[in-house]
Structure 1
Amino acid sequence: MLEAVKDEFDKRSEEIDTLYSHIVSLDSEKNESIREASVGLISILASSLSLMLYNQVESTAFSCVESIYDSVHEKRISFNRLVPGFKKKILNDCRQAYHSVDSLMSGLHNNDISEVIARTSLKLEKVFSGNVDARRLREVLGCYHLAITGPSPLNQGAELHGLRIARNSLAHGSASFEKYGRSLTVSDLDKLRDNIREYMSHVISLTEDYLVSEAYLNPSDAA
């Protein structure tokens, strides 16, 4: 379960490691004149690495949410059997996503509404919208009765907030890649990379346990 999510996560991790290794190599140049010429490039690459880390976080978060809907859809779980928070999320999403009864009906494709409305209501582009951090993850996944915790007392996802701010600043142009990257050291990048990887790997594991236990089912309607 979630093999595709894990594979994509690992692929992105490898890409991040490749860029990180390149940054370390540039930063440790023995020839001082070469290193001086590389300072601006290192800053730009550091910002690029931050953006890659954020993209990995958001991609993984999207995939975890999508896997919940896929499981409910594939098992043809009735709307009536879901936990209350999940039901409310579906109805709110339908209200916001469809402007008329006709458009909602077309999305159902003449299927049993109680079995397909969950998948029909999902609009991935509106789930996070470039604003993923630990608080938002807990908030969104909590709607489905999936409790998100940190992998350790020392890692509660605090770095995700700064990463989200960096992503928005870089994506919207309020900070240049060179200027933002100047504030990051190789040590900062190493810690950020490790903590983000540990935290999001933990989110994947929590989602997998959630799906195996079918925790989206309302205990009173699970039978």
Structure 2
Amino acid sequence: MLERSAYENRIQLIIESIITNSPIVLTKKTLDISGNLDAKKIKAICDKHRIRYTLQNKGVSLEKVKNFRNDLAHGDVSFSECARDLTIDDLETIKDEVLIFLDDILQGMKRYYDGKLYKIS
């Protein structure tokens, strides 16, 4: 008997999960995510899966956070250099904008799930 391919095995696991009503775990690899997500990548993933969302902001602050994080992670800047030009008010604004953006995306995902829109081809 020939051994199944990794693809066939993954499909079988998904089918078994659906039959047993078990959650399907999606990894970064499954979603084709490399590195950190910014607003553009999050919107592209949602668009690819036809998840509709209404945004109060474009997610610009999320990109700032991603860039700060990357600069720190790659050693391009020190922790003290990273945000030294930002005020507490700036940081609060960034936090608020990121949370609003993510909440808007999550609300779109909730409507997608609650409306079973994943069943529509």
Q: Same fold (TM over 0.5)?
A: yes
Q: Evaluate the alpha carbon distance shift between residue 112 and residue 195 of structure 1 in structure 2; reply closer, same or farther with a 3 A threshold.
A: closer
Q: Evaluate the alpha carbon distance shift between residue 142 and residue 112 of structure 1 in structure 2; reply closer, same or farther with a 3 A threshold.
A: same
C-alpha displacement of 1:140: 0.9
C-alpha displacement of 1:123: 3.3
- When the two structures are superposed, what TM-score results if normalisation uses the length of structure 2? 0.75
Rounded to whole Å, the distance in 2 between the matches of 1:186 and 1:110 is: 48
Aligned match of 1:123? 27
Rounded to whole Å, the distance in 2 between the matches of 1:200 and 1:110 is: 30
Aligned match of 2:72? 170
1:143 to 17, 24, 48: 48
Q: Does structure 1 retain, via aligned residues, the 8 Å contact 2:38–2:62?
A: yes
Q: Does structure 1 retain, via aligned residues, the 8 Å contact 2:53–2:107?
A: no
Spell out the pairing of 1:176-191 with structure 2 (5 A cutoff). Answer: 176-191=78-93
Aligned match of 1:105? 8
Q: Evaluate the alpha carbon distance shift between residue 188 and residue 112 of structure 1 in structure 2; reply closer, same or farther with a 3 A threshold.
A: closer
- When the two structures are superposed, what TM-score results if normalisation uses the length of structure 1? 0.44
C-alpha displacement of 1:135: 1.1
Structure 1: stretches of 5+ with no match in the other structure = 1-99
Greater Rg by CA: 1
RCO higher in structure (CA 8 A, sep ≥6): 1
C-alpha displacement of 1:191: 0.6
Rounded to whole Å, the distance in 2 between the matches of 1:148 and 1:101 is: 39
Q: Evaluate the alpha carbon distance shift between residue 206 and residue 108 of structure 1 in structure 2; reply closer, same or farther with a 3 A threshold.
A: closer
Partner AA of 1:129 in structure 2:
S
**Matched position secondary structure for 1:183:** coil
Say yes or no: does 1:157 pair with 2:59. Answer: yes
Aligned match of 1:37? none
C-alpha displacement of 1:131: 3.0
Q: Evaluate the alpha carbon distance shift between residue 148 and residue 135 of structure 1 in structure 2; reply closer, same or farther with a 3 A threshold.
A: farther
Q: Evaluate the alpha carbon distance shift between residue 180 and residue 101 of structure 1 in structure 2; reply closer, same or farther with a 3 A threshold.
A: same
Partner AA of 2:46 in structure 1:
L
More helix by share: 1
Q: Evaluate the alpha carbon distance shift between residue 139 and residue 108 of structure 1 in structure 2; reply closer, same or farther with a 3 A threshold.
A: closer
Structure 2: stretches of 5+ with no match in the other structure = none
Rounded to whole Å, the distance in 2 between the matches of 1:104 and 1:172 is: 34
Aligned match of 2:95? 193
Q: Evaluate the alpha carbon distance shift between residue 156 and residue 109 of structure 1 in structure 2; reply closer, same or farther with a 3 A threshold.
A: closer
Residues 172-191 of structure 1 show CA distances to partners (whole Å, capped at 9, x for unaligned) of 11111111121211111111
What is the number of residues matched between the two proteins?
113
Rounded to whole Å, the distance in 2 between the matches of 1:208 and 1:107 is: 26
